[in-house]
Chains A and B, each alone.
Chain A
Amino acid sequence: EPEVTQTPSHQVTQMGQEVILRCVPISNHLYFYWYRQILGQKVEFLVSFYNNEISEKSEIFDDQFSVERPDGSNFTLKIRSTKLEDSAMYFCASNQDRSSYEQYFGPGTRLTVT
Chain B
Amino acid sequence: DAKTTQPPSMDCAEGRAANLPCNHSTISGNEYVYWYRQIHSQGPQYIIHGLKNNETNEMASLIITEDRKSSTLILPHATLRDTAVYYCIVRVSLDSSYKLIFGSGTRLLVRP
Let me know if B97 and A48 touch, CB within 8 A. yes
Collect the chain A residues with CB atoms within 8 Å of residue B43's CB: 4, 91, 93, 105-108
Chain A residues touching B, majority SS: strand
Contact residues on B (Cβ < 8 Å of other chain), bracket:
20 to 34
What residue in chain B is nearest A32 (Cβ atoms)?
Answer: B97
Let me know if A45 and B99 touch, CB within 8 A. yes
What residue in chain B is nearest A30 (Cβ atoms)?
Answer: B97
Let me know if A103 and B46 touch, CB within 8 A. yes
Let me know if A102 and B46 touch, CB within 8 A. yes
CA A70 to CA B49, docked complex, whole Å: 33
Let me know if B42 and A107 touch, CB within 8 A. yes
Query: How far, in Å, is A76 (CB) from chain B's closest CB?
Result: 17
Let me know if B95 and A55 touch, CB within 8 A. yes
Which stretch, B12-20, B21-29, B66-74, B100-108, touches the partner chain A?
B100-108
